[in-house]
Amino acid sequence: MSFQAAPTAGKKPSKLKKFQIAPYLFVLPNLLIFSVFIVIPTIIGFVYSFNEYDGLNPMEFTGIDNYKEVLTNSEFWTALGKTGLYALIVVPLIYCMALGIAVLLVQNIKMKGLFRSVFYLPTLISFIIVGLTWKWIFAEFGILNHVLNLLGMESAQFLSDPLLANLSVIIATVWSRVGFFMVIFVAGLQVIPKDYYEAAFLEGASKWHVFRKITLPLLKPTTVLVIMVALIDAFKAYPLMFSLTGGGPGKETTFIVQYIYETGFMKQELGVASAMSVILFAIITVFTAVQFRVTKGGEN
């Protein structure tokens, strides 16, 4: 296969044709996967949102009735509000912890490669497994309560008390996601020129001053990426909560994606659930666009 910029005399047209097609062949597998699992389901869901459909009987066009029903559904807004509060707590925690760990692990310390691997390892575990693992820890007869009993303390209802259940979800989420964003911050920190730090220290600047005036401003593009991805992750969170608390106690940890799932597949209201998904997609898009505009895309 020839990769010359232009065909030379005597070259057959097929050579040029192969050169033009080759790049598309490389991206074709990912394009097919993205289309089959993202684009096509999104289009189908958008169509469903304008129909009454239970997955068994033929669809019946209802216009915007599904959207009217969703917008007047108090349970939908309750689930969305809980999700927003969860994101408001989880995203800053992940950001601060991931950045703090990354700053420590770019220093010249022993076995930093091992420490990076240890912090990154939880991100390789399925959310379902993470939820089940932490359920084993937080359960009434779990490890944590066993330790509390050994210390002479009473068992805590981590998964049946509303406040503790939400706290358990937050702890499990942060544990499973910090390592992923730590790697992103490490990459961002490593491209900052060391000359800036050397010049600042020669001028007598403290480490905190250098961090605020050099590190944070130059990490702005990375920060924008981390916050955007963490925010999207928070709004579409479902497997971890489902396996850890099942959405309970009651509906205390039933976030928006689980509520959409229950509406579509347990109540068999696929049209209404699709309308909820479209609204959620619009909300995430607006949040992302506003953040991108406010931060000017991470430009310094």
Complete DSSP assignment for 100-130:
HHHHHHTSS-TTHHHHHHHHHGGGGS-HHHH
CA distance 151 to 171: 22
Element (H or E) spanning 60, and its range?
strand 60-61
- Structural domains for the chain: 75-298 (1.10.3720.10)
The identity of residue 163, as a single letter, is: L
Give pLDDT, residue 1: 44
pLDDT in tens, 143-170: 999 999 999 899 899 999 999 999 999 9
Give pLDDT, residue 12: 53
For helices 74-105 and 220-235, the axis angle rounded to 10 degrees is: 140
pLDDT in tens, 263-285: 999 999 999 999 999 999 999 98
**Cα three-residue angle 271-273-278, rounded to 5 degrees:** 95
Mean pLDDT of the chain: 88
Give pLDDT, residue 196: 87
Which structure tokens are listed for 287?
Answer: 């949040």
What's the DSSP call for residue 61?
A: E
Which structure tokens are listed for 52?
Answer: 């009454």
Record the pTM.
0.85
Q: Are the C-beta atoms of 277 and 49 separated by less than 8 Å?
A: yes
- Note the Cα 287 to chain centre separation in Å: 14
Instruction: Provide the H-helix boundaries in 139-262.
Output: 143-150, 162-190, 194-202, 207-210, 216-218, 220-235, 239-244, 256-261
pLDDT in tens, 17-35: 555 787 888 889 999 999 9
- Helix (H), strand (E) counts: the chain: 15, 2
CA distance 69 to 276: 10
CA distance 247 to 253: 4
Nearest to 219 by CA among 190, 259, 251, 179: 190
Give pLDDT, residue 3: 44
Which structure tokens are listed for 92?
Answer: 């800053």
Which structure tokens are listed for 291?
Answer: 């953040």
275: which strand partners?
Answer: none
pLDDT in tens, 232-252: 999 999 999 999 999 989 899
CB atoms within 10 A of CB 129: 14
The identity of residue 293, as a single letter, is: R
pLDDT band of residue 2 (cuts 50, 70, 90) is very low
pLDDT band of residue 295 (cuts 50, 70, 90) is confident
Beta-carbon contacts of residue 134 (< 8 Å; ≥ 6 apart) = 168, 171, 172, 175, 244
